[in-house]
Amino acid sequence: MNAFWTQPDFDDHEVVHFVHDDKSGLTAIIALHSTHLGPAAGGTRFWHYAEPGAAMRDALRLSRGMSYKNAMAGLPMGGGKAVILAGEDRRKTPEMLAAFGRAVDGLGGKYVTAEDVGISVADMVAVHEQTEYVSGLPVAEGEAGGNPGPFTALGIYLGIKAAVQHKLGRDSVEGVHVAMQGVGSVGGGVARLLAKDGAKLTLADIATDDVQALGQELGADVVAPDAIMSVGCDVFSPNALGATLDEEGIARLDCAIVAGGANNQLARPENGAMLAERGILYAPDYVINAGGIISVTMEYLCRRDDAPCDINEVRKRIALIPDRLSKIWQDSEATGSSPDRVADSMAQKLIGRG
């Protein structure tokens, strides 16, 4: 087995922390990519991996993405991510969450966690019993924080509207056909916002009952998960797990725009250029999907500083996402570099690695 620091996804990460607690059955990886701008912030993923190397790749790639996301969102936070390796039965226990909370606390504030795939707000409450370095906790109405999903969805919705205006020259998404891969808490929120504006939707998700119900609710078409990338549309919106945009996936696309909330959408660094070569406008994932981290970071900072946290301030920050995307696309067109490379360069400078 090759050492993880020799793998392509290792990017001078500051800390890669392996956690094993035999009593609770916890096995986890906490990866801190950069603390240049502040404590490393990023959610915890609970997932069953077919082999351990996939968990390490996720931790490395997702933590780097969080460094870039937080920097581009103007947040005083670095980038980190945790993955809890679930067993085949996906069993999650209070003892496991408590052990994970102690591991986070043992890092002394270098890492601030939140929910991600497979982790709920209730889980974060349990983790918070062991450590103060948690965000995304329940809050009073009108305050920032809590479930980050709706804020992530809002940013993606605004980003799709910006992409439609930039690429298609249309000021509205009315009649724009969006094919959505994944309609869970985030993708479903995006779908509802787009439907309200009159967009034509085609939906796909592995949760067949849920996607059928959402399709009926919104009057949207539903296709099988393995068909969604080939649907002829204006916008392909990936909102499930990442790395779907590989050479094969990109060749299947029949769209003008790729804009969605999944993390690490590009399977390899060269895939962004492949999209550009096909004339497909790409919205870098860690820029368009920053709404959730903006919300939970504001919550954490306000709680840390014992200060009020107005939800309207969160919305103001999320409303800046379209302008950031527009700047990336303009620089891409001016330089000939693909949007993902332009965004990476901007982010690297912000974290002191330019």
* Active-site residue list: 81
| Cα–Cα distance, 318 to 316 (Å, whole number) | 5
| Cα–Cα distance, 341 to 338 (Å, whole number) | 5
User: Which one-letter DSSP state was computed for residue 140?
Assistant: -
| Cα–Cα distance, 23 to 91 (Å, whole number) | 14
| Cα–Cα distance, 176 to 284 (Å, whole number) | 20
Strand-strand pairing, 200-204 and 26-34: unpaired
Chain-centre distance of CA 307, in angstroms?
A: 27
The CA-CA-CA angle for residues 8, 293, 349, to 5°, reads 50
User: Which one-letter DSSP state was computed for residue 38?
Assistant: S
3-state helix vs strand vs coil in the chain, percent to 5: 45, 15, 40
